[in-house]
Chains A and B, each alone.
Chain A
């Protein structure tokens, strides 16, 4: 179909070798330098990163197991995306606001959220809420891309509150919003880019390009690398190795500092891979090859960090055994906690629709309760 593009245009559009992938730790676990980005954390930070990544994977695995046992209706795996999630979370400052999509288990754990708080959503005992979670963490969104606009609005509020561009960096904040490669096609995401650019809003668009949107490869969404979209909207885009926790942290720190200082939005494309199924309802063997999965397995974010830390003598087998034991304890806590989640009562929903419940909902609640009670009398 169609006429071939002029060669120069085709070359410009193609995913070319000079699409610089920012990387500081190779898949084989060796440090490499980047001209612009440098890791600012300590060795101890990296040890802690590995611990969080291992715990994330263990809890993720347990989530899948709980779904298989019928205790959860659904589980959304983060398998393979631990470095993108935890590396970016390490860059958060105390005034930053975090807007997740639905796959950010690693971000939650890095922020210290109790995994039991989001299990209810997948068990069907709750909507979405973090009653004791960090105040700067927004609720997840399940409608693809919608949250990017909310994030820009939150950034606009920070601007109005005088939280951007102050001489003392401690007074500044920004917003980080997570979304996927598929989401970039939504009108909402493109409008978020437009609004962010128009307002020069302090927002970091963190796109986890895990190569798939359910069964659709990224090529269904775009012929050009996603990070390049940003320039057309008027702000910088960068592509980082999303399986490299050092590089992700370095790039996100840069973008956040830039945003907080008042220099405006950044699009980060974290180039990673969805190692598992889209969710527990999905069967990826229908649409992708085992070879592709194997190729990415060789770039696993955990393996490379473990290799590096072992080689440097920063961890040893005893340390790994300790984390494995900790993971087992947490998984066990999830198993027991899951089945103990309080069963919801529909009666409680009627007062949640409005801040001020109108009469017809009081009536419907009464009707519902009377109906339920009629069974108890008969029983």
Chain B
């Protein structure tokens, strides 16, 4: 057991994957000598060489497109997109090729690729560096989409994503990169499944459904609510596609009230999908409509307004009040 930041935990997870499987290779912009702009790959090129930790030309479509070919050639590429806002040049490769080769080949081919994307706001950045594009990918059949919320999950989930035979879009909440947590690297500590949600906090009055950077926000909100005598359950989805319906529905059935929280814009975000599934499956157990606390339907705004744009503890508790008032 050791205490690591999420950044260091990801680094350790990648190191272990490289050490365990000679077919694993990393590719991306500035991931070599620099160790990536967030230092997630720090030291890995020195340790594993330039053939396995590759500084690529500056072209995201090229990075993902060549990773498709490497995957077809028997490798397991783990590519880094430098920031959320720069995945779009690779969008065609991801949604038209990566996601579909298994289907197009009648199951003969698979693309065991991981696309790592630092995502989300709250770091005071300029444009294109604070986006939450997860819904585009979760909307695409053939892609698995996951996101970690703490160092232990970061360490294990990245390894499980690499081991998965299907392509996985791996979202890393960049504003939580420096959060510390306990990481048990013993194989027995690995979570059962990459695609299982986690009850981050047990509660009885309402369920906060969230993931990635907002897990901590929701845990803080639940702690604050406790002081007011309210017991909130916090579910960390971990996987956005597929969604662990069983864990979600079970919680909703216990509490009868749900607030979905994410940074991404509201319209057709994860909250919309979750609300639809919950009302279809748990209609008679619901005490209140499913509410959403999300980013507004705006392009990510100038950073000095991001505190107003991003869901925070107060907005979450405000929604809980509304839910409980029903």
Contact = CB atoms under 8 A, between A and B. Distances in A.
Give the most central of A186, A371, A372: most B CB within 10 Å.
A186
Given A214-B30, A364-B296, A187 B62 contact: yes
A362 to B, nearest CB: 11
Given A143-B85, A143-B128, A216 B55 contact: yes
A188 B86 CA distance: 13
Contact of A221 (B57, B302, B306, B309): B57
A323 interface: no
Interface in B311-325: 315, 318
Contacts of A122: 126
Interface stretch (B33-41, B101-109, B276-284): B33-41
Given A143-B86, A186-B58, A215-B32, 13 more contacts: A74-B126, A127-B301, A186-B89, A187-B62, A214-B34, A215-B34, A216-B29, A281-B37, A282-B37, A346-B296, A353-B298, A364-B296, A374-B318
A346 B309 contact: yes
Interface in B73-115: 85-86, 88-89
Given A188-B89, A344-B302, A287 B126 contact: no
Given A144-B58, A185-B57, A220-B57, A125 B127 contact: no
B305 A353 contact: no
Contacts of B86: 143-144
Contacts of B298: 349-350, 353, 361
Interface residues of B, number: 39
Interface of A: 73-74, 120-128, 142-144, 182-183, 185-188, 213-216, 220-221, 281-282, 286-287, 343-346, 349-350, 353, 360-361, 364, 368, 371-372, 374
B326 interface: no
Contacts of A127: 127, 301-302
B299 A187 contact: no
A372 B309 CA distance: 11
Interface of B: 29-30, 32-35, 37, 55-59, 61-62, 85-86, 88-89, 124-128, 266-267, 296-299, 301-306, 308-309, 315, 318
Contacts of A343: 304
The DSSP consensus for interface residues of chain B is loop
A194 B299 CA distance: 31
B127 A128 contact: yes
Nearest to B296: A364
B62 A360 contact: no
Nearest to A216: B55
Given A73-B303, A124-B302, A214-B34, A185 B124 contact: no
- Nearest 9 CB-CB pairs, A to B? A124-B303, A215-B34, A185-B57, A346-B308, A182-B58, A124-B304, A346-B305, A287-B33, A185-B59
B125 A142 contact: no
Nearest to A102: B126
Contacts of B296: 346, 349-350, 364, 368
A157 B321 CA distance: 55
Contact of B34 (A187, A188, A286, A374): A286
A127 B304 CA distance: 10
A221 B57 CA distance: 5
B30 A215 contact: yes
A208 to B, nearest CB: 14
Given A123-B304, A186-B59, A214 B128 contact: no
B64 to A, nearest CB: 12
A345 B302 contact: no
B221 to A, nearest CB: 15
Contacts of A353: 297-299
B83 to A, nearest CB: 10
A287 B34 contact: yes
Contacts of A282: 37
Given A349-B298, A364-B296, A364-B297, A214 B37 contact: yes
A213 B58 contact: yes
B268 to A, nearest CB: 12
Nearest to B123: A73
A122 to B, nearest CB: 7
A185 B32 contact: no
A126 B305 CA distance: 9
A214 B34 CA distance: 9
B299 A183 contact: no
A364 B266 CA distance: 10
Contacts of B125: 73-74
A187 B37 CA distance: 22
A220 B308 CA distance: 41
Give the most central of B62, B88, B297, B309: most A CB within 10 Å.
B297
B62 to A, nearest CB: 7
A46 B56 CA distance: 40
Nearest to A122: B126
